[in-house]
């Protein structure tokens, strides 16, 4: 799952802060380590000078007992724990004096280092004695003007590393607290920075195809957000204009087609009334009448779709649904002679609404059932009154609708994969719109291979609610 911009900004701030802390902490650590090491080397240099001065006063390195006392006085070994050490060697690298119980193998100088020290240089290096780290300084020992040996002094680095260890703990705790604080501050800052964008998203999410006149209307927002909002508003303006032009074109064309189509069908029906008409011509005229009727129904659907897009509200007049259902039944009988159209239960029901729209809704449901029912099948139209509602039921014995298609069959232009059938995919969408306009609902139950049942529930007119209801089968 991808992180949102808010968390990405917060993470970026935290990473930048953490990187800065790492650079500061590393620089501080090495600077402090170098300073402590320098102080330790300076202390060792003073220790070397003190031992050399004491041996100079002694006058010779051959007085081994006195030399050992000097070495012991410059060693620190409380309780057997070495803290400061001292070693005196002759030019042949023989031990003349050393701190008590000190293993001098780790302090041995290489031939090159010995040559450097005897030449007058000092050498400093770190060694491990037991479990302790020591800083050791090796310097030439002179008596008069003659180099008579090598002095080695060393101190435990514990005193130097202890502040570094303490500093690391402090810095780690502060870094963790700083990262958490930076994360909180970064999230808060990114939230504030993205709040105008969230407002734009919220408004954009509320805009639908039927509500394109709305605009985001952002004012005095950050430059990037303002530009995005203005661009989105300009796009909505273009879409709104295109949709209005499309609706107007659809409405005008449908309206202009309906009148001549109705006249054409009327003339065809008049010709069919002639008893002397040749049988072949009669069949052709009947086919023309059926196709003209289909074009009229398609034109009506386009008109209703255009009405739905402009938010047309249904008229509120008493409508006797039983009479409307009877009219639809008579009209649908001729749609397909090979499919039996049956009128089932028919209660006397009156609702408030638009008669033409309600008739179109029922006709769309019936036509849908007739269209997809196999030859020899049956479509039943029923009307019930129950629970204070009118229930229009259209049942067919068609192939049924697969479960995965049921949530979408009321969407515009959706045809559930029935590509072998003619149709526009508008009938059921318009039926649902008409049901919604009348405060009703439409639902479907279907089993593959057994058929489908479409049910429309509409609220009853108050005066018709007292009649005895009929139970649905």
**Secondary structure letter of residue 132 according to DSSP:** E
- For 279, the token pair is 């049988």
For residues 138 and 33, membership in a common domain is answered with yes
Checking if the pLDDT of 322 tops 90, the result is yes
pLDDT score at 6: 67
Model confidence over 116-153: pLDDT tens digits? 888 889 988 888 887 788 889 999 988 777 888 899 99
Q: What whole-number distance in Å separates Cα of residue 313 and Cα of residue 316?
A: 9
Tokens 């298609």 found at: 405
Q: From edge to edge, which strands make up the β-sheet containing 84-89?
A: 95-98, 84-89, 146-156, 132-143, 123-129
In the structure, what pLDDT confidence band is assigned to residue 423 with cuts at 50, 70 and 90? low
CATH number at residue 337: 3.30.565.10
Measuring CA to CA, which residue among 377, 368, 375, 385 is closest to residue 431? Answer: 368
Measuring CA to CA, which residue among 361, 367, 323 is closest to residue 341? Answer: 367
In a domain, 195, yes or no: no
Model confidence over 48-71: pLDDT tens digits? 888 888 888 887 778 888 888 888
Buried b / exposed e over 126-144, threshold 16 CB at 10 Å, is eeebeeeebbbbbbbbeee
Checking if the pLDDT of 263 tops 90, the result is no
Number of domains comprising the chain: 3
Report the range of poorest mean pLDDT among 212-216, 266-270, 406-410. 212-216
Tokens 């019936």 found at: 366
Looking from the CA of 3 toward its CB, the CA atoms found within 13 Å total 9
For residues 46 and 131, membership in a common domain is answered with yes
419 vs 395, higher pLDDT: 395
Model confidence over 427-445: pLDDT tens digits? 888 889 889 888 999 999 9
Separate counts of helices (H) and strands (E) for the chain: 9, 12
- pLDDT mean over 322-339: 89
Q: What whole-number distance in Å separates Cα of residue 356 and Cα of residue 455?
A: 19
pLDDT score at 458: 94
For residues 159 and 65, membership in a common domain is answered with yes
Q: What whole-number distance in Å separates Cα of residue 393 and Cα of residue 472?
A: 9
pLDDT score at 433: 87
For residues 39 and 52, membership in a common domain is answered with yes
Q: What is the mean pLDDT of the chain?
A: 81
pLDDT score at 328: 92
In the structure, what pLDDT confidence band is assigned to residue 96 with cuts at 50, 70 and 90? confident
In a domain, 429, yes or no: yes
Could you tell me which residues are beta bridge partners of residue 353?
Answer: 317
**Secondary structure letter of residue 403 according to DSSP:** G
Could you tell me which residues are beta bridge partners of residue 138?
Answer: 123, 152
- Alpha-carbon Rg for the chain, nearest whole angstrom, is 50
* Alpha-helix runs per DSSP H in 59-128: 64-73, 111-118
- pTM flag (> 0.85): no
> Of 312, 338, 370, which marks where a domain is finished?
312
- Of 156-160, 164-168, 240-244, 388-392, the range with the highest mean pLDDT is 388-392
In a domain, 469, yes or no: no
pLDDT score at 243: 76
For residues 325 and 308, membership in a common domain is answered with no
Q: What whole-number distance in Å separates Cα of residue 360 and Cα of residue 366?
A: 10
In a domain, 172, yes or no: no
157 vs 252, higher pLDDT: 157
In a domain, 433, yes or no: yes
For residues 22 and 89, membership in a common domain is answered with yes
**Burial class (CB within 10 angstroms; exposed 0-12, middle 13-18, buried 19+) of 359:** buried
> Of 132, 163, 194, which marks where a domain is finished?
163
- For 398, the token pair is 């068609």
For residues 372 and 308, membership in a common domain is answered with no
Model confidence over 370-389: pLDDT tens digits? 988 999 999 999 999 988 89
In a domain, 228, yes or no: yes
Report the range of poorest mean pLDDT among 75-84, 319-328, 424-433, 463-472. 463-472
Angle at CA of residue 390, ends 387 and 391, nearest 5°: 95
Model confidence over 221-237: pLDDT tens digits? 777 778 888 888 888 88
pLDDT score at 392: 95
Checking if the pLDDT of 285 tops 90, the result is no
Q: What whole-number distance in Å separates Cα of residue 119 and Cα of residue 224?
A: 73
pLDDT score at 4: 67
In a domain, 186, yes or no: no
166 vs 340, higher pLDDT: 340
Measuring CA to CA, which residue among 165, 142, 140 is closest to residue 151? Answer: 140
In a domain, 397, yes or no: yes
Q: Are strands 84-89 and 95-98 parallel, antiparallel or unpaired?
A: antiparallel
Q: What whole-number distance in Å separates Cα of residue 412 and Cα of residue 355?
A: 23
pLDDT score at 210: 59
CB 447 within 8 A of CB 400: yes
Model confidence over 9-23: pLDDT tens digits? 777 888 888 888 888
CB 319 within 8 A of CB 352: yes
CB 51 within 8 A of CB 151: yes
For residues 141 and 53, membership in a common domain is answered with yes
- pLDDT mean over 276-302: 81
Model confidence over 37-52: pLDDT tens digits? 888 888 888 988 888 8
CB 232 within 8 A of CB 204: yes
**Burial class (CB within 10 angstroms; exposed 0-12, middle 13-18, buried 19+) of 432:** buried
For residues 56 and 115, membership in a common domain is answered with yes
Checking if the pLDDT of 421 tops 70, the result is no
For residues 266 and 332, membership in a common domain is answered with no
The domain in which residue 37 lies consists of 5-163
CATH number at residue 263: 1.10.287.130
In the structure, what pLDDT confidence band is assigned to residue 471 with cuts at 50, 70 and 90? very low
For residues 21 and 146, membership in a common domain is answered with yes
Q: What whole-number distance in Å separates Cα of residue 65 and Cα of residue 140?
A: 21
Q: What whole-number distance in Å separates Cα of residue 44 and Cα of residue 74?
A: 11
Q: What whole-number distance in Å separates Cα of residue 16 and Cα of residue 6?
A: 16
For residues 450 and 419, membership in a common domain is answered with yes
pLDDT score at 341: 92
- For 463, the token pair is 């005066």
pLDDT score at 469: 43
Q: What whole-number distance in Å separates Cα of residue 425 and Cα of residue 180?
A: 57
* Alpha-helix runs per DSSP H in 310-373: 321-332, 355-372
Checking if the pLDDT of 417 tops 90, the result is no
> Of 312, 333, 357, which marks where a domain is finished?
312
- pLDDT mean over 333-350: 89
Quick one: CA dihedral 48, 54, 56, 59, positive or negative? negative
């Amino acid at each position: 799952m991808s992180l949102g911009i808010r968390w990405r900004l917060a993470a970026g701030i935290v990473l930048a802060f953490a990187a800065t802390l790492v650079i500061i902490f590393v620089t501080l650590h090495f600077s402090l380590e170098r300073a402590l090491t320098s102080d330790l080397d300076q202390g060792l240099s003073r220790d070397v000078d003190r031992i050399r001065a004491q041996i100079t006063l002694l006058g010779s390195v051959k007085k081994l007992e006195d030399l050992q006392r000097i070495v012991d006085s410059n060693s620190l070994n409380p309780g057997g724990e070495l803290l400061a050490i001292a070693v005196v060697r002759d030019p042949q690298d023989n031990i003349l004096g050393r701190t008590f119980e000190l293993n001098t193998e780790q302090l041995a100088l290489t031939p090159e280092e010995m040559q450097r020290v005897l030449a007058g240089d000092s050498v400093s290096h770190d060694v491990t004695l037991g479990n302790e780290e020591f800083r050791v300084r090796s310097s030439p020992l002179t008596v008069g003007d003659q180099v008579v040996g090598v002095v080695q002094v060393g101190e435990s680095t514990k005193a130097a590393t202890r502040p570094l260890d303490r500093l690391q703990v402090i810095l780690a705790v502060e870094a963790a607290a700083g990262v958490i604080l930076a994360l909180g501050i970064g999230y808060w800052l990114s939230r504030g920075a993205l709040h105008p964008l969230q407002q734009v998203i919220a408004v954009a999410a509320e805009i639908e195809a039927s509500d394109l006149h709305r605009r985001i209307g952002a004012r005095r927002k950050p430059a990037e957000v303002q530009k995005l909002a203005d661009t989105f508003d300009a796009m909505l303006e273009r879409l709104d204009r295109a949709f209005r032009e499309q609706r107007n074109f659809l409405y005008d064309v449908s309206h202009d087609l309906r009148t001549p189509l109705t006249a054409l069908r009327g003339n065809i029906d008049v010709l069919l009334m002639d008893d002397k008409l040749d049988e072949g011509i009669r069949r052709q005229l009947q086919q023309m009448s059926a196709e003209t009727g289909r074009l009229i129904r398609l034109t009506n659907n386009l008109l209703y779709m255009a009405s739905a897009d402009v938010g047309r509200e249904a008229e509120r007049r008493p409508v006797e649904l039983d009479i409307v259902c009877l009219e639809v039944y008579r009209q649908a009988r001729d749609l397909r002679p090979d499919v039996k159209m049956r009128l089932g239960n028919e209660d006397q029901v009156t609702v408030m609404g638009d008669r033409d729209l309600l008739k179109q809704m029922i006709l769309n449901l019936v036509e849908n059932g007739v269209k997809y029912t196999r030859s020899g099948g049956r479509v039943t139209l029923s009307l019930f009154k129950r629970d204070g509602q009118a229930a229009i039921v259209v049942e067919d014995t068609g192939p049924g609708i697969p479960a995965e298609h049921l949530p979408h069959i009321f969407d515009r232009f959706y045809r559930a994969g029935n590509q072998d059938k003619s149709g526009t995919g508008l009938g059921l969408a318009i039926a649902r719109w008409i049901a919604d306009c009348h405060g009703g609902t439409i639902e479907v139950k279907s089993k593959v291979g057994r058929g489908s049942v479409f049910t429309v529930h509409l609220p009853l007119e108050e005066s018709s609610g007292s009649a005895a209801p009929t139970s649905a089968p």
